[in-house]
Structure 1
Amino acid sequence: MTSTGTLTGRTVAVIGSGYMCGGIAQVLALAGARVRIADAGAEVTTSNRERLIAEATRFAADGLFPAHAPDTIAERVTAAPSFADAVDGADFVEEAVPEKLDVKHDVLRRVSAAAAPDAVIGSNTSTILIGRIAEAVERPERFLGVHFSNPAPFIPGVEVIAHAGTDEGILPGVEDIVRATGKHPARISDADGFVLNRLQYALFSEASQLVDEGVASAEDVDTIVRTTFGFRLPFFGPFAIADMAGLDVYKFCFESLQGRWPERFATPRALAEHVDAGRLGTKSGGGFLDVPAERVPELVAYRNTAYVRMQQLLDELGPPPIQQEETP
């Protein structure tokens, strides 16, 4: 995990101190911020601060955090006695309390009343619409979703979600905070499931149906996902993968699936429009993403190297504890 360290000298508050909140506090502190955490009670907050320092010690011993991480986190993360104390003087607040609307409303009502009027407030929610949560926030124009993924110290993607009333002028600053922790922000509209969970649960739903239909076991579905298209996903998103495969091929496959599931696998409108216009992906010089023809060999070489390196990494790590060793 690397960061740019551009949060040095800034004070931020993390509301909540559980596992998710602690991970967020860790990466903010390692990026240079002074971090105040606060939970429902001072005793809980203090206990959880000790836990996240102990976690950092284990992570550093395993080479997952830099060697200085435990000392740095112990120095920069403090346990505030109350929400009001945590947000006092903070220019950015990240709320990460349990995923229940009434709980978030209660906490954010108190937090937004105590925070400075110009303090930006983010919510780490994975499913609740930001506009619904904003109903309890004073000055909701300074409020947005900032959705880290679990485990927060090690997953690099962060959804940055503005609701209809968010002042868009705060977005670049929030994205800078995210980047300072070594992570990658993506701007997302306020829609059910956002992007991460809408895609994640669509995959899980289809995987579950395959098991229910007796097409494959859960173990074999997992094997196919992680050793085929899942193998590509650390390097390329679905649009880049489609462009490299050929959008005409994708359209043909959708039409084949429609023989059994005409509605479930209806051809996406954007895909049909690209194919009808002759934009077939990298082989035609344009698709969802424009890759100049002269860069295609470079892209192919990168792809092949990436996949070989991924397999080498997996060989080095060995199978995860949920899998049995494969016998020759």
Structure 2
Amino acid sequence: MTTIAIVGSGYMGGGIAQVLALAGYDVRIADVSAEIAASSLQRLIAEAGQFAADGLFPEDAVERVTQRITAAESIEAAVVDADFIEEAVPEKIEIKHATLARISQAARPDAVIGSNTSTILIASLAEAVERPERFLGVHFSNPAPFIPGVELIPHEGTDLSLVPFVEEIVAATGKQTAVVKDATGFVLNRLQYALFHEASQIVEEGIASPEDIDTIVRTTFGFRLPFFGPFAIADMAGLDVYAFCYASLQTRWPERFATPASLQELVDAGKYGTKSGAGYLDVPAERTPELVAYRNKAYVAMQKLLDELGPAPIHPAPALEEETAR
């Protein structure tokens, strides 16, 4: 059995603790004080009850969370005999350094330590860890109980033989892992902030409002993203088409939208994506009809789900008409 400690019991750390407990792990949570950890535990139990009532967690979630999660008196008490420890304290390097130093001093020498940092270089955090070869990034996304992807980020000194151990823990929660190199922003936030940067520039240029941009993203290319990543989408669209579109964008922004070298190399080699049987992902041409059928079915199912859920409650509800009779 694997014992897990979560240091930092706030929104992210608490959510990670919940899914690990539901996966059958014994989890200890710790925070800056025993009182905060105990309060967080009560919040996690109450949340589990609400999530279960809403059909988001199993019906016995409260029982499982209550049985599996305990609040430790201190960071040291939480990590002392843990097999895996996840640090989830605020995204400030000085706080993380101080916390990771306490964790690594109190933990077993063979305990694996992860950090839920969003953007800080893992190598920079590793400076505070004793035996940094057992340390890596394990980046869950917000909200941790419901977002299925987790970035695993070894630094140059990480013992890579430990990665499968962490992958197994994450897989037990039903989530999917991707192993990426240690670089500022990793993959998730580098892409997310690139999109936000371009969207904010479009607003500042007066081309569209934030509301209209959100509508376009949700209902066009963003609609595809639950099923296909950017390379699969490009392969299906046609890499030659992408090259033409880059050329068009370059008439206004030649540097910002310079054609990626990898794209140009594929197009020059006659590899246009699914229609030629070779592209970024090398999907065989004979599978194209099957892929198209899946795509169409997926998009229709997504629209039905959105229709069932209704619009997100972002904008104020329409005001009720005043009564005409008093």
Q: TM-score, normalised by structure 1?
A: 0.96
Aligned length: 318
Aligned-pair distance for 1:105? 0.4
Tell me the distance in 1 between the aligned counterparts of 2:192 and 2:287: 31
1:81 to 73, 76, 86: 73
- Name the counterpart of 1:133: 125
Residues 94-109 of structure 1 aligned to structure 2 (within 5 Å): 94-109=86-101
1:32 to 21, 24, 38: 24
CA contact (8 A) 1:319 1:325 kept: no
Residues 119-158 of structure 1 aligned to structure 2 (within 5 Å): 119-158=111-150
Aligned-pair distance for 1:324? 6.9
Aligned-pair distance for 1:239? 0.0
Tell me the distance in 2 between the aligned counterparts of 1:282 and 1:324: 44
Q: Deviations over 1:128-155 (max 9, x none)?
A: 0000000000000000000000000000
Aligned-pair distance for 1:172? 1.0
Tell me the distance in 2 between the aligned counterparts of 1:118 and 1:241: 42
Residues 46-61 of structure 1 aligned to structure 2 (within 5 Å): 46-61=38-53
Matched, 1:114 2:106: yes
- Name the counterpart of 1:177: 169
1:45 to 10, 20, 37: 37
Aligned-pair distance for 1:39? 0.2
CA contact (8 A) 1:12 1:35 kept: yes
Matched, 1:160 2:157: no
- Name the counterpart of 2:55: 63
- Name the counterpart of 2:276: 284
- Name the counterpart of 1:267: 259
CA RMSD of aligned residues (A): 1.0
Tell me the distance in 2 between the aligned counterparts of 1:114 and 1:296: 55
Q: Deviations over 1:188-227 (max 9, x none)?
A: 1000110000000000000000000010000000000000
* Identity over aligned pairs, percent: 72
Tell me the distance in 2 between the aligned counterparts of 1:240 and 1:46: 46
Q: Deviations over 1:144-199 (max 9, x none)?
A: 00000000000000000000110111111111111111000000100011000000
Q: Which runs of 5+ in 1 are unaligned?
A: 1-8
Tell me the distance in 1 between the aligned counterparts of 2:281 and 2:218: 24
1:216 to 181, 184, 208: 208
Please state whether the residue corresponding to 1:284 is helix, strand or coil: coil
Tell me the distance in 1 between the aligned counterparts of 2:317 and 2:282: 42
Tell me the distance in 2 between the aligned counterparts of 1:319 and 1:98: 32
CA contact (8 A) 1:22 1:52 kept: yes
- Name the counterpart of 1:304: 296
Aligned-pair distance for 1:323? 4.2
Tell me the distance in 2 between the aligned counterparts of 1:86 and 1:147: 20
Tell me the distance in 1 between the aligned counterparts of 2:44 and 2:306: 28
CA contact (8 A) 1:11 1:90 kept: yes
Aligned-pair distance for 1:292? 1.2
Aligned-pair distance for 1:294? 1.7
Please state whether the residue corresponding to 1:283 is helix, strand or coil: coil
Q: Which runs of 5+ in 2 are unaligned?
A: 319-326
Q: Deviations over 1:245-271 (max 9, x none)?
A: 000000110010000000000000100
Tell me the distance in 1 between the aligned counterparts of 2:44 and 2:127: 32
The structure-2 alpha-carbon separation of the partners of 1:244 and 1:54, relative to structure 1 and needing over 3 Å to count, comes to same
Paired letter, 1:214: G
Residues 237-252 of structure 1 aligned to structure 2 (within 5 Å): 237-252=229-244
Tell me the distance in 2 between the aligned counterparts of 1:84 and 1:55: 26
- Name the counterpart of 2:323: none
Tell me the distance in 2 between the aligned counterparts of 1:49 and 1:297: 51
Tell me the distance in 2 between the aligned counterparts of 1:278 and 1:324: 51
Stretch moving more, 146-155 or 285-294: 285-294
Tell me the distance in 2 between the aligned counterparts of 1:109 and 1:225: 42
Aligned-pair distance for 1:291? 1.0
